[in-house]
Structure 1
Amino acid sequence: MLRWYNIDDAFYYYKVAQNVLMGHGFTFDQINLANGFHPLWMVVSLGVFWLSKFNLLLPLRVLVIVSALFNAGTGVLLYRMLKRVLHPGAAIVGALVWTLYPSIFDTSTAHGMESSISAFFIVLLLLLATKYLNKPEGELMTLGELAVMGLVGGLTILSRLDNVFLVGIIGVFLLMKIKKIPTLVIFDLIAVSFSVLAAWTIRLGSEGVVLNSYSIYPMLAVSVLIKPVFFFFSSLYTRSTNETGFMTIFRVSIATALSFGFEYAILFGMYKLEITRMFSKSVVIFDVAIGFLLVALIHLFIKNTVPSARENPFSLFGKWAKRNWNNIILGGLSYGFPIAVLLGSYVTFNKLTFGTFTPISGQIKHWWSTMPNTIYSHANTLISVLGLSPADNYGPWSLATSKIYTAASSIAKRISWQNPQASQLIFGILLIALVILFFIIMRTENGRLARKTFALLVPAALIGSLIQITYYTATGYSHTRGWYWITEMLTLVVIGSILLDGLFTLIDKPKRRINFSPFLVSLLAVSLVYSHISYILRLSPFHVSEEKQSEYLQEIKEVEFYTEEGANIGMTGGGMVAYFIENRTIINLDGLINSAEYFHALKTGTATAFLDKLPLNYVYGKPYVLLESDPYDEIFQNRLIEIGFIRGFEQFTLFKYQMNQ
């Protein structure tokens, strides 16, 4: 059972829920009020952990069932969404992949985190949104339908707060009725993004890009938002198909010059306001030059996708605004009001109860990035900065990138390429090749599969994912975890289902007497069931020897042996220990599940005085973390007396904490 719960963060929920039900309020240690959790999963935890008064393991068993039910519900909703648009076989396989594939299940369902309820509400929102967006032409969404989606959107945010980006983008797609994006716009967005990254790389090199990612992503966001607008009003998307090349280059020049002025002013202002940490004129100039060249080439060679011009873009925009502004405003209010009420109530409760509008845990993780020697940051590479980390169960797209990187490493070994960066270079080449192949497949059969991606809101999910990745990278957020990337995993599963639709449609051609898709679906289903059962048996075997059973809690028993009842024990983490330890209190030292006052003490260098006031009696952790890494080295300088090493999952050492006399 406890192997299922091998993530310490999950026990933050359970211990706080236990304390709330005992009448102590939202606190991890019964001393400091804490809000380092997502609200909807805390509601679920409160409904389950009243059982802990009977037996500490009982609610953990019940929560396994609850998580599994959310996972099954997500699979059912995903199937219903996919089958409206895709081949039935593709819908079945897509739903089974989500519910059974070990890498997904391990992140979305196992370990007792909020990811299971987050996935459920994301898919529920997508199901409703795709239903209403794909209504027949002329049949409008009612304000009531938008309000229902807004309510689901609000619950989606409360299930995991960074879902706000996806919920917002889905709202834009619904209100603007975006059912397609012209090919030229897509290529322009790719060119604009590439020019920004290329400009930074030319100016600073790959290491400079990694070090200045906090400034790169804001520039990327500004460019992607501003430049297409100027391209539109320069008639690049409404020009005549027989326009001369000279006139096309002239339009690109005008759009580039105007967007350069706006972009320069915004980026300079962001730098002066200390939103970004670096502003480079040469980077902006490189970006303009590369962007101009790429966009000009795109518009010179891709002419046939642009209809003949009938009106100037200002007139087109004016008519569109006049025709739609009323529906957009009323629809926006209907969709946004439930979200505003739910989110507003949540942040107001936070402020009144905890003294801060947002969870302390997120603020702590942003603060960690300001410290030079913290264990909570990962060594970044150019690939990871771009959100393409190949590490399994770590990066946003690791469900795909980890497999691609494995293939790249295998190729590098087979060809005996001695370059230390060989695997990364081959990984990049494979990634680009697969993206190109994907676009080619999307354009086959007159864009049939491309239309299905829009019908399933894949572009909205991609944009929401990219904004989420940008937020974490640009704001210096440290220590992201695998369960942050549920939207990205869902997006990959839906894309895979769309590709399967193409395959099943191909092998089930009407002229063939036998449809092979049922056999393929059955084969894939059996394979998924087998891999899932094997994974579950490895994770939580039915039979565990008595010797092994005692090992799970042996560490906690030893901590109890070396400490007296009533002791306050500081830990960097401590969720599982806090839940099972008896008659002792665990104080969370990293701040993720501690108070706003403690976070203020960490930032102002007064954490030692804060801990003295509790008072703290012991500290349990790794010596390097406590004595050499930020911020603990200053907090515990000349304060710890080693008691001894305790063998356990984390290999921690127990220290006696001494206060200055």
Structure 2
Amino acid sequence: MFKRVSIKIEWVIFILVVGLHLYAVFAPPNSLMNWFTSDDGFYYFKTAQNIAEGRGVSFDGLGLTNGFHPLWMVVLVPIFALARLDLILPLRIVLLLMTVLNAGSAVLLYRIVRRAVSPAVGVAAAFFWAFFPDIHKVTNMLGMESGLYAFFLLLLLAQVQSLELRRAAGEPDSPQTLLKLGITAALLLLSRLDNIFLVAVMGLWVMFRSPVLRYLLLGDLVLTLVSVFASYLLRLGIGLYFFYSDYAVWMAVVSLVMRFSVYLFFGLYGTRILIPNRRSLWRIAVAASAASALVGLVMIVLTTAGAVTRFPRAVLVVDWALGMALTFALRYGVGWVLRRRGVDLEESAPETDPRLHWKPWLQAGLRYYGPLAVTLAVYLAVNVLYAGTPMPVSGQIKRWWGTIYTVYGYPEKDLPGLMGMNPDPDRGPWWEVRAVPKRLGNAAAEALGFEGDGTRAIRARKLAAWGVGLGLAALAAGLLWANRRWAGRAAGQMLLLPLLGGSLIKLSNYKFTTYVETLSWYWVAEMAFKTLLAALLLGCVYELLQRVRVPRTVNWGVSVVIAAVVTGVFMAQMAEITPWKVKKGQEELYLAGVKGVMEMTEPGAVVGSTGGGVTAYFIQDRTVVNLDGLISSYSYFQRLKAGTATEYLDEIGMDYVYAGEYILVYSQPYTDMFAGRLDYVGDAYGSALYRYLPAK
């Protein structure tokens, strides 16, 4: 009976999400375009159109590119085959497709939360995910890969959760189930390539049934990165760190390999090592020291071989001390938790030693990681064959941007930023940690009369922000502690730990390298984690209500109110974003810039643009070349770095440059690139058009 009710709830969620979006799907073109506010989405659309029309895997039809995530492009190609009939029709289909994916994601989230927490909380979480503005904008608008990313992420979480529940019931793992998980993980990887960290971590939960092994392996993975990057920061400071960030990454990779190997050899993944005594103390100290010594040796060899040109040797000592301290803390911390749960660490030691049970773990690992390995190998090989580089050129360019002075961004300048707490949602997945207390604190301080820019007012607002932040953290911690047994079980069933671990490793890939211009759609996994954590906290509130014998209908009432509020806010915003009545004369306002360029250029012209996605898609009888390189060829990127990009532009016969004047005048690489090569033509809807002057 309950299963039937759950299925009906799922259909209600799905139909309601899709049904409400039909309003936007059939909106007038000028209103429809308000859903595709990112130029990056049109990078996909134009490239998909060119592929469908036989112009190659190319944005401009002149050079091959791989600056995109492959699965979303595969999905888009047949849709944009229709662009030859009508340029707006594919956009309507994309919006409908993203809506269906978002509805499916909401249903999957409901299932995950229903199993782990309760159906009432599942309903609130599903509607929150589907309609909350900050999430909806990323997963259901823009035209990026984020909707596909969210769907396969939640599908993988739901499948691993089902596996865990069957294991808890004593059922053996079937090879077909593990293989299916591997295929889902491969699709998640293809939907966005930085998911490699998440699917790798999720594999620990698939391979190992033992919580001890999971916690220790994931802990060593995260804490090794913490130790290495913290060592560089302590030695150099943030100001100098990014001059050495490449070497820090080398050392992090070497450290992971060495620590896992040495720790396995010394038996640091059994339960006996979790018991504080002289024997475990000595073994952990020797293992940590041996691993650090090997890391130092390999780094010196790499330096001698020229793979690493230089690195501060003092970081080896700092990393040794930090690594040993964190290794002790992890093992004795896990041991303390297990003993409080009544686990006999001596009795369970043989069951958790990976050296004694390698065969079943190896079989599970091959079935899960096998599809991932094949998928990644094929993807890299295809890229090398047609694009000349294994990884997307867009990511390589964004790492290069961090080494020059450019308007596209800069590496983080403070510790909260490095930890992902930059208050800009594009730059940090945990932006709420600083932004929400600041907003609430400012409101509270101003309500108490602390307004203006005076010293007392500024100090009052800061204190209020700290007070709000600490208060919210204490409230969340109190709810979790008051329901610690129930919350621990629910968090485990929602897979919060591997989701968080994968997110932290991905964060280090972006923030501790020179990568710049991260954007909101990078952080979908983190959005899922925050939604699941909010569901856990709401479940804690409901559990407390049950203890004081509040009827369960109150829980449902609160969840229905949450669902109704977020749905109502969404409907109001959608009506504002996509009005069905467009003012007379503004029916094609979205084409204003395109028409301006067409009026000032001749048919057949080649126009370079520092963005150019929307212009390239809608312009007629002209070719738009992407100058920033994100969706251009690898050859063009190499010339950008070498300072010879204008040779390429001369070769393709570029006629015009269309961009913001500030970008061309003050931002590298354009200031040097176009020096003496541009002749101003006029303004086209806020951006400047220049005639490009070829070399004399």
Please classify the TM superposition score into its range, dividing by the shorter chain length.
0.7 to 0.9
335, 338, 344: which one aligns with 2:371: 338
Deviation, structure 1 residue 574: 0.3
Q: Deviations over 1:331-369 (max 9, x none)?
A: 222222322333333333323322332222122222222
The letter of the residue matching 2:115 is R
CA distance in 2, matches of 1:423, 1:588: 44
Pairs within 5 Å for 1:438-477: 438=476, 441-477=479-515
SS of 1:656's partner is strand
The residue that corresponds to 1:587 in the other structure is: 625
The 10-residue stretch of structure 1 (250-259 or 594-603) with the greater mean CA deviation from structure 2: 250-259
Q: Is the 8 A contact 1:408 1:424 kept in 2?
A: yes
The letter of the residue matching 1:99 is A
Task: Give the alignment's Cα RMSD to 1 decimal.
Answer: 3.7
SS of 1:135's partner is helix
The residue that corresponds to 1:238 in the other structure is: 272
The residue that corresponds to 1:568 in the other structure is: 606
The 10-residue stretch of structure 1 (397-406 or 547-556) with the greater mean CA deviation from structure 2: 397-406
Q: Is the 8 A contact 2:102 2:130 kept in 1?
A: yes
2:688 is equivalent to residue 653 of structure 1 = yes
The residue that corresponds to 2:81 in the other structure is: 50
CA distance in 1, matches of 2:646, 2:661: 17
The residue that corresponds to 2:356 in the other structure is: 322
SS of 1:117's partner is helix
CA distance in 2, matches of 1:419, 1:39: 51
The residue that corresponds to 1:310 in the other structure is: 346
CA distance in 2, matches of 1:430, 1:212: 37
Q: Is the 8 A contact 2:606 2:623 kept in 1?
A: yes
The 10-residue stretch of structure 1 (72-81 or 230-239) with the greater mean CA deviation from structure 2: 230-239
CA distance in 1, matches of 2:441, 2:305: 43
TM-score (normalizing by structure 1): 0.87
CA distance in 2, matches of 1:461, 1:618: 47
CA distance in 1, matches of 2:177, 2:505: 26
Pairs within 5 Å for 1:594-605: 594-605=632-643
Q: Is the 8 A contact 2:646 2:673 kept in 1?
A: yes
365, 372, 389: which one aligns with 1:356: 389
SS of 1:528's partner is helix
CA distance in 2, matches of 1:53, 1:149: 38
CA distance in 1, matches of 2:105, 2:61: 35
Pairs within 5 Å for 1:114-263: 114-137=145-168, 138-179=170-211, 202-205=234-237, 207-208=239-240, 230=263, 233=267, 238=272, 253-254=285-286, 257-263=289-295
CA distance in 1, matches of 2:459, 2:311: 30
SS of 1:9's partner is helix
CA distance in 2, matches of 1:67, 1:132: 28
Pairs within 5 Å for 1:48-87: 48-87=79-118
Deviation, structure 1 residue 61: 1.7
Q: Deviations over 1:465-502 (max 9, x none)?
A: 11111112334222111101111111111111111111
Q: Is the 8 A contact 2:51 2:57 kept in 1?
A: yes
Q: Deviations over 1:608-657 (max 9, x none)?
A: 1111111000111122322442222232121111112222xxx2111011
Deviation, structure 1 residue 178: 4.9
Change (3 A) 1:333 1:205: closer
CA distance in 1, matches of 2:213, 2:444: 36
Q: Is the 8 A contact 1:571 1:620 kept in 2?
A: yes
Q: Deviations over 1:68-125 (max 9, x none)?
A: 1110011111111221111111111111111110000011111111111111111111
The 10-residue stretch of structure 1 (38-47 or 390-399) with the greater mean CA deviation from structure 2: 390-399
CA distance in 2, matches of 1:296, 1:23: 59
Q: Is the 8 A contact 2:270 2:354 kept in 1?
A: no
Change (3 A) 1:290 1:89: same
SS of 1:391's partner is coil
SS of 2:682's partner is strand
The residue that corresponds to 2:29 in the other structure is: none
Change (3 A) 1:58 1:300: closer
SS of 2:86's partner is coil
Q: Report percent identity of matched pairs.
A: 31
CA distance in 1, matches of 2:236, 2:611: 38
| Unmatched runs of 5 consecutive residues or more in structure 2 | 1-31
CA distance in 2, matches of 1:200, 1:492: 30
CA distance in 2, matches of 1:621, 1:655: 9
SS of 2:63's partner is coil
Change (3 A) 1:272 1:442: farther
519, 522, 537: which one aligns with 1:484: 522
State the number of aligned residues: 652
Deviation, structure 1 residue 192: 7.4
Change (3 A) 1:204 1:438: farther
Deviation, structure 1 residue 521: 0.9
SS of 2:272's partner is coil
Deviation, structure 1 residue 67: 0.9
SS of 2:105's partner is helix
The 10-residue stretch of structure 1 (172-181 or 5-14) with the greater mean CA deviation from structure 2: 172-181
SS of 2:421's partner is coil
Change (3 A) 1:527 1:394: farther
The residue that corresponds to 1:623 in the other structure is: 661
Change (3 A) 1:239 1:475: closer
The letter of the residue matching 2:377 is G
Pairs within 5 Å for 1:469-548: 469-509=507-547, 511-513=549-551, 515-548=553-586
Q: Is the 8 A contact 2:69 2:145 kept in 1?
A: yes
The residue that corresponds to 2:5 in the other structure is: none
SS of 1:322's partner is coil
Deviation, structure 1 residue 6: 1.2
CA distance in 1, matches of 2:465, 2:221: 23
CA distance in 2, matches of 1:426, 1:581: 52
The residue that corresponds to 1:6 in the other structure is: 37
The 10-residue stretch of structure 1 (232-241 or 484-493) with the greater mean CA deviation from structure 2: 232-241
